[in-house]
Amino acid sequence: MRSIYDAPDPSGDWLTREQIEARLSAHLIGLDLGGSPLRSRSKAAKTAVCEALGYPVPASFRRTRPRFAVQDLDVYTQKSRNLQIWNQNLAPDRRYALLCLNEQSVVTQVRVLLGSEIAALDRTGTLTSKYQAKYRGAVMASRALSGDTPQVRALTRRPDRVKLTRCDPSDDPERGRVLPIRALLASATGMLSSTIPSQGADQERSRGAELHLRLCLQLGYEEYSDTGAFPDIRHQVLEVKLQTAPTIDLGMVMPTSTADLAGLAHLGLRHCDVRYCVFYATPTQSGIRLDHALVCAGAWFFDHFQLFGGLTANRKLQIPLPDAFWAD
């Protein structure tokens, strides 16, 4: 029988995030972790997670990262709204199980989130973009800087045969409904010279959402949707960046990473297969004008962009959870 320290196996006993949450909820809700020191409480919680997921309980729990490597899963018990993660950075595709305890230290609820979703909850500035990059030359024209990786090419079809009207941009990619990289560039260049208007105080976030919406419609979708997960337009394996300055914030995802994309290992898709569409824009009195677009697959991103060093924090991350986080 496999142990919690074995490597993940997407073709074997791999569980989806929803399956993990359902199993942990069924087994752990009502579990009393009170009356014990914190160290004993932590061991009891990890023991219960092993039992819920069907793995043997080790004689002692090693200090591994993540604690449940076989499911790329870490577990935190939460008696307050302040999530604390010690001496490690959030991994964007890792699953984090948060166990809510009441005042009597009884588990009342379970949530399982990706690291990227936890990062999106931070409003304190505690978390900063880990990776940043800059185009190596001057951006003078729109270009496709690379082709697609073989993994994405296997999903693509001639643009004139791809119909997206009844598709959702947030759905998983579908074979035969993924546009090749040059078709993505054609859609992006069709938006150039247009202006995204100023939209109030939170301009960066609202401008990004407006660009995302416009690109979805330009690609042929009837509606816009955004779950906040990576990549932005999941159905097209496409991440979108809007730049009024040279430095690109890449967040926690290294474009060249060969790690599997969360939930898409069955399609053979990795982080390096994601296409990046980077719009360069100029601020105007009425908003920002879209000038140029560069499109590149992650596998060759750093052939054209210079990577800057980012934060590699070795400290405690504290993320206040929203008031409604545990609401049904």
Q: pLDDT digits over 56-114, tens only?
A: 999 889 888 889 999 999 998 887 777 777 656 677 788 999 998 888 889 999 999 88
Q: Does some domain include residue 10?
A: no
Same domain, 31 and 155: no
Number of domain units in the chain: 2
Work out the number of other CB atoms within 10 angstroms of the CB of residue 321. Answer: 17
Same domain, 169 and 204: yes
Phi, psi values for residue 107, rounded to 5°: -70, 125
Q: How confident is the model at residue 314 (pLDDT cuts 50, 70, 90)?
A: very low
Same domain, 103 and 155: no
Q: Does some domain include residue 11?
A: no
Q: Does some domain include residue 3?
A: no
Lowest mean pLDDT among 7-16, 68-77, 235-244, 297-306: 7-16
Q: Could you tell me where the DSSP H helices lie in 257-310?
A: 301-304
Same domain, 181 and 221: yes
Same domain, 139 and 221: yes
Per the DSSP assignment, residues forming a β-bridge with 77 are 99
Q: How confident is the model at residue 315 (pLDDT cuts 50, 70, 90)?
A: very low
Lowest mean pLDDT among 196-210, 211-225, 257-271: 196-210
Q: How confident is the model at residue 304 (pLDDT cuts 50, 70, 90)?
A: very high
Same domain, 102 and 187: no
Same domain, 28 and 59: yes
Query: Is the alpha carbon torsion for 34, 27, 65, 316 positive or negative?
Result: negative
Q: Does some domain include residue 290?
A: yes
Does residue 190 surpass a pLDDT of 90?
A: yes
Q: Which long-range contacts (CB under 8 A, 24 or more apart) does 253-256 make?
A: 253/92, 253/116, 253/131, 254/131, 255/298, 255/299, 255/301, 255/302, 256/298, 256/299, 256/301, 256/302
Give the mean pLDDT of the chain: 86
Same domain, 170 and 93: no
Instruction: Confirm if 131 and 251 have CB atoms less than 8 A apart.
Output: yes
Reported as type and span, the H/E element at residue 219 is helix 203-219
**Residue 316 to residues 84, 90, 138, 174, 313, Cα–Cα distance (Å):** 6, 11, 39, 40, 8
Same domain, 148 and 263: yes
- pTM confidence score: 0.64
Q: Does some domain include residue 8?
A: no
Residue 41 identity (one-letter amino acid): R
Same domain, 157 and 270: yes
Does residue 263 surpass a pLDDT of 70?
A: yes
Instruction: Confirm if 179 and 156 have CB atoms less than 8 A apart.
Output: yes
Q: State the average pLDDT over residues 246-269.
A: 87
Domain that holds residue 52: 17-128+313-320
Structure tokens, 133: 């990059």
Radius of gyration for the chain, computed over Cα atoms and rounded to the nearest angstrom: 22
pLDDT at 311: 43
Work out the number of other CB atoms within 10 angstroms of the CB of residue 62. Answer: 10
Q: Does some domain include residue 4?
A: no
pLDDT at 127: 56
β 238-243/275-283 pair status: parallel
Same domain, 56 and 159: no
pLDDT tens digit sequence for 226-251? 887 889 999 999 999 999 999 898 87
Same domain, 164 and 286: yes
